[in-house]
Amino acid sequence: MINRLSLAAVLLTAVTLANCKKKEDDAPPPLPSAAPDPAPTPPPMPSAVPTTTAVQLQPVPPAPGQAPSTLGEAIMFAKPQMRDSTGSPDEGSATLLKYWLDKKYAWAQLEAVPPTTEAAFLANPDAERGKRICTTGVVQQISQANPNPPQHEGLITAQTGESVSFGAVGDVTGIKQGGPGKFCGIASGIQNMTTPDGKQVRAIRSVGMFDTPANRGGGGGGFGSLRACCQALQQNSVSMPPPQNMYAAAAAQYCFASVAAISSPQQKDALLAGIRGALRGASMPGSCR
């Protein structure tokens, strides 16, 4: 009897375990829990702190009918028009010449322009436009294009054989056809031209001044005597008794510092007045009157 009960209990247990296992197998998978909201994506960080871009201020072009106050500005405004030409000079050359005739830029401003050479310009005109060329040679031709303000056109052949077609402002004292000369100017382009005697010439077009005492002294306006005035004041400062020697030295220093910028009679008068004031009653040299 006991054995039957024990067997029945074992069978019941087995059946119960089987049913439980079946229920576990048949049970539907648990429902997934709600997915969490994705975390907000932070904005991308800049790779570098932005820097302020420097603004390059461009000089304002002169008003129509006016010229820039310095030769450097005049070159900058005329340079975009500079190019090679056939026959007549290029537009950039004409623009620069017009500015120069109006403002009479000083020789010192011309000397401050970066230089080039005839050979370098002919080899690469685009890279050398707007630079200074000084040509020493024989003046093949020269003619007056305008008496006031003085303007001359012509051709000079360098000692190395290159030709320069020039537009000259200011003084031309001592410059004659067939004679020697030194011309310094701003090169603008290669000009293919025909000379009055029918020769075909490939020349460098240049606008500037002949190297004369008047041009060096006043920069194109014929005020060369002012430099002689400065030199006389300096000499007097050595020989005059004190305190006049100190006054003359101060006047000479003021004269040399100012003479290169003189380009008009009004500026000349102002310089002479300043020299008189610096001398404090001491005698003026004859070249300063």
* DSSP letters for 232-289: HHHHHHHHSPTTHHHHHHHHHHHHHHHGGG--SHHHHHHHHHHHHHHHTTPPPPGGG-
83 plus 134 within the same structural domain: yes
**230 vs 49, 76, 77, 113, 211, CA distance in Å?**
58, 33, 34, 25, 19
Residue 175 buriedness (CB in 10 A; 0-12 / 13-18 / 19+): buried
Strands (DSSP E) contained in the chain are: 85-86, 132-146, 151-158, 163-169, 180-194, 200-210
User: How high is the pLDDT of residue 267?
Assistant: 83
237 plus 139 within the same structural domain: no
102 plus 190 within the same structural domain: yes
212 plus 109 within the same structural domain: yes
User: How high is the pLDDT of residue 68?
Assistant: 92
CATH number of the domain encompassing residue 195? 2.40.50
| Nearest alpha carbon to residue 111 among 132, 128, 137, 136 | 132
113 plus 160 within the same structural domain: yes
User: How high is the pLDDT of residue 56?
Assistant: 43
93 plus 212 within the same structural domain: yes
The pLDDT tens digits of the residues spanning 245-288 come to 899 989 988 887 787 677 677 788 888 899 999 999 888 887 78
User: How high is the pLDDT of residue 59?
Assistant: 59
Domain boundary among 158, 191, 216: 216
- For residue 117, is it within any domain? yes
The pLDDT tens digits of the residues spanning 163-201 come to 999 999 999 999 999 999 999 999 999 999 998 888 899
User: How high is the pLDDT of residue 219?
Assistant: 40
81 plus 198 within the same structural domain: yes
User: How high is the pLDDT of residue 262?
Assistant: 73
199 plus 106 within the same structural domain: yes
- For residue 119, is it within any domain? yes
What pairs with residue 132 in β-bridges? 115, 186
246 plus 273 within the same structural domain: yes
- For residue 55, is it within any domain? no
Domain boundary among 199, 216, 233: 216
For tokens 């020039």, name the residue. 166
103 plus 189 within the same structural domain: yes
79 plus 155 within the same structural domain: yes
Going by the DSSP 8-state scheme, the letter that residue 165 receives in this structure is: E
- For residue 261, is it within any domain? yes
pTM of the predicted protein model:
0.59
Domain boundary among 173, 193, 216: 216
110 plus 209 within the same structural domain: yes
Count: domains in the chain: 2
Report how far residue 173's alpha carbon sits from residue 171's, in angstroms, rounded to the nearest whole number.
6
- For residue 277, is it within any domain? yes
CA angle 185, 168, 119 (to 5 degrees): 35
Report how far residue 92's alpha carbon sits from residue 100's, in angstroms, rounded to the nearest whole number.
12
Tokens representing residue 166 in the block = 């020039």
User: Which residues form the domain of 245?
Assistant: 225-288
Q: In which residue ranges of the chain is pLDDT below 70?
A: 1-60, 218-225, 260, 263
Tokens representing residue 217 in the block = 């002294």
